[in-house]
Amino acid sequence: MSNEVEKRMAHGAMWMVLFKFLERGLGLISTLILVRLLSPADFGVVAMATSFIFMAEMLAAFSFDLALIQNQEATEEHYHTAWTCNVLLGLLIALLMLGASAAIARFYSRPEVFWVVCALAVGPLITGFENIGVVAFRKEMQFRREFAFQLSRKLIGFMVVVPLAFFLQSYWALVAGILTSKLAGTCMSYLAHPFRPRFSLTKVRGMLGFSRWLLLNNIVGFLKERSSDFVIGRLHGAAPLGIYSVSYELAIMPTTELAAPINRALLPGFARIASDPVAMRSAYANALGMLAILAVPAAAGIFAVSPFLVPVILGTKWLAAVPLMEILALNGGLLLFHSSICTVLIANGRPDRVTKTNALYVVMLLILLGALAPAYGITGAAFAALSASILATPIYLVQVRRSVGVPTHVYLRVAVRPVTAALAMAGLVRWALPNWTPAMNFAESLGWLISGILFGMTSYAATVSILWAAAGRPDGTERVLLERLRHLIAKRRGARAATTP
């Protein structure tokens, strides 16, 4: 059974990665347009509002979807209860944010934040009504249907925010895009799945036993990701916060957008084999190897090409983002491993360990932010995030060893070749690229950026292959990818031969 589950996990991971690539492709296109139509302050105003909205959502986020996935005996009553709780929590968040909107605007000393908070407060209520039945796509590992559902909501949001950006040329375009995407997701959820939820609280007590830890974890997870927003917004204002938030999103995009969809596919698979520790450790080691070989070079690549990536993608008014992206890209590589550990712990029924470990991370982050952000600004905040990730990593490793029995040497074995090759790639790309100067026009900068990306991909693939061959071509991620590539080539050749007269 474990081999079949691993195959379905791998298949699902590919669908989820494909979705993330398409989603981020749309996001990148919209970002390219928005950063040229809007100012850093526009992004900062929305970040100020969304920080409190996200905080309120985390304070009431019991993650009932994960509880349904982890519980292999969940009935329809569990689904009805989860939907009812989501609706009630969405209404509560909306009312709280409407009541707090004036205080939030005063906190940042930005009157315009008041109306942005009022508008975005409707979002949690819209999301609360989403059809809980779509959770079955992940629980039953029907990832093709999950792919279609998730992509449809993103396409609708994209088609709204870009035209509005041209028309409004203000932060209201971002607000409209956020709300439209949420509304599209709720509407599409009822078209995508035939389940029709009804109000019921019959299973609420049993579900809260597992979900209370997920609630606490969501709160500390929010602080893990957004503490910097509060500190920077309060100390340095909207424009620096806008630069930091955009830099953070772009810097960690390659790693998180590979890790998040893979983890999304792995969670239901891990939950199915949680009772078999040997199968769990084997599946986790294989998944970790796949994450490392894809996401680690992505982080190193962002670090290497950021001096050209920023002026090409964001424009010259965003040059202050270059050092931030270099620092935060490295942080994204570490967050990759943190997220994989959290996924396997939740699947194993230990959300308490995830919560406690993330809480320690947040404590370290807040201490470092308090020490570095006031004196060194947004660069200090970026160093605080990276330092917290470095210091917390051993704690995450201890937790997964205690809960699942995964020893530390497993991480070293799966990461040594990708990390070595990624470091070599980053050094070679930095050596090959010239220093960017304002005298370079867009075409010249774009040419160097593309050259750096292609050179980085080639040098990384060559270095990994050499290291794998030097190690005696052992079983692992490299062999799996090679066999998969051979299978695709053979399949394509077979299809071509069948159509040739």
Q: In this predicted structure, what is the pLDDT of residue 423?
A: 92
What angle (nearest 5°) sits at the alpha carbon of residue 341, between those of residues 273 and 74? Answer: 40
Q: How many domains does the chain have?
A: 1
What integer is the mean pLDDT of 80-91? Answer: 85
Q: What is the mean pLDDT of residues 33-60?
A: 69
Give the pair of three-digit tokens for residue 459.
């040098």
Roughly how many angstroms between the first and final C-alpha of the chain, as a whole number? 42
Residue 451's pLDDT is 94
Domain membership flag for residue 109: yes
Structure confidence by residue, pLDDT tens digits, 91-134: 888 898 888 888 888 888 888 888 888 888 888 888 888 888 77
Give domain status of residue 217, yes or no.
Answer: yes
Q: What is the pLDDT of residues 431-461, one digit of tens each?
A: 999 988 888 888 899 999 999 999 999 999 9
The answer as to whether 500 is a domain residue is no
410 C-beta neighbours (distance < 10 Å), count:
18
Q: What is residue 421's predicted lDDT score, i.e. its pLDDT?
A: 92
Choice between 428 and 44, residue whose per-residue pLDDT is larger: 428
Widest Cα–Cα separation across the chain: 74
Element (H, E) at 81: helix 76-108
Return the number of other C-beta atoms located less than 10 Å from residue 112's C-beta: 18
Cα–Cα dist 9/272, whole Å: 11
Q: What is the mean pLDDT of residues 217-240?
A: 78
SS3 label, residue 459: helix
Rounded to an integer, what distance in angstroms lies between the CA atom of residue 235 and that of residue 63?
A: 32
CA distance 220 to 362: 7
Residue 12 near residue 143, CB atoms below 8 Å: yes
pTM of this prediction?
0.64
Residue 499 lies in a domain: no
User: Is the pLDDT confidence value at 378 over 60?
Assistant: yes
Cα gap 13→238, rounded to integer Å: 37
Mean pLDDT of 250-261: 67
State which amino acid sits at residue 398. V
Residue 275's identity, in one-letter code, is: S
The vertex-448 CA angle with 426 and 259, nearest 5°, equals 45
Nearest one of 325, 306, 179 to 249, comparing CA atoms? 325
The residue type found at 76 is E
Structure tokens at 401: 């060893």
How many whole angstroms separate alpha carbon 274 and alpha carbon 10? 17
Length of the chain: 501
- In the DSSP assignment, the letter for residue 313 is I
Q: Is-contact 145 18, C-beta < 8 A?
A: no
C-alpha 264/C-alpha 214 separation (Å) is 15
Supply the range of the domain harboring residue 245.
2-494
CB 335 within 8 A of CB 389: yes
Token pair belonging to 153: 């909501």
Higher pLDDT pick, 77 / 144: 77
Phi and psi (nearest 5°) for 207? -70, -35
Is 501 domain-assigned? no
Q: Which residues in 264-283 are b (16+ Cβ under 10 Å) and which e?
A: bbbbbbbbbbbeeeebbbeb
Q: Which distant-in-sequence residues (6+ apart) come within 8 Å of 107 by Cβ?
A: 234
